[in-house]
């Protein structure tokens, strides 16, 4: 790669309380060229702190989190403070009304963990292709 080429580095934050699913998400993100996980969180306040600290391009968030917290808290905060951040909701609470609430709060996509997990990689690839290129460090 020469120094005039541009590289997209998509920063991803994972917000999931169930460790086996979080690990599965880590494995999936590692298959996306130039994507990197900048942080992980298992409840809303940790996620908000991670957003402030790492400025992710994409957040994959579950709705039911530890300590009785909700991914909806994160969506509401993002709508007010960082509306350009892409959010993919990945949840077992995939009924139509909840999808609508999440999309109205700014989620780019809502996927059912049980039946739509396989669509996540394609969604991440699409989001990565839309990111503005960053200057190469080489």
Q: What is the pLDDT of residues 43-90, one digit of tens each?
A: 999 999 999 999 999 999 999 999 999 999 999 999 999 999 999 999
Separation in Å, CA 99 to CA 4, 30, 73, 87, 113: 42, 27, 15, 13, 13
- pLDDT for 1: 41
The number of helix segments (H) and strand segments (E) in the chain equals 6, 7
3-class secondary structure, 117: helix
Domain boundaries, the chain: 13-130
- pLDDT for 8: 53
pTM above 0.85, yes or no: yes
pLDDT tens per residue, range 4-48: 444 558 999 999 999 999 999 999 999 998 899 999 999 999 999
- pLDDT for 132: 72
Mean pLDDT of the 104-117 span = 96
CATH fold of 13-130: Rossmann fold (3.40.50)
């Amino acid at each position: 790669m020469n120094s005039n080429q541009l590289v997209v580095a998509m920063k991803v934050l994972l917000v999931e309380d169930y460790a086996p699913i979080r690990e599965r998400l880590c494995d999936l993100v590692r298959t996306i060229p130039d994507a990197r996980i900048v942080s992980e969180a298992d409840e809303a306040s940790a996620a908000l702190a991670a957003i402030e600290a790492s400025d992710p391009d994409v957040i994959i968030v579950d709705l039911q989190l530890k300590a009785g917290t909700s991914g909806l808290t994160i969506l509401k905060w993002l709508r007010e403070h960082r509306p350009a951040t892409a959010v993919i909701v990945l949840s077992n609470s995939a009924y139509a009304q909840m999808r609508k609430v999440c999309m109205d709060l700014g989620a780019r996509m809502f996927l059912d963990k049980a039946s739509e997990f396989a669509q996540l990689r394609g969604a991440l690839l699409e989001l990565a292709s839309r990111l503005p290129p960053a200057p190469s460090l080489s």
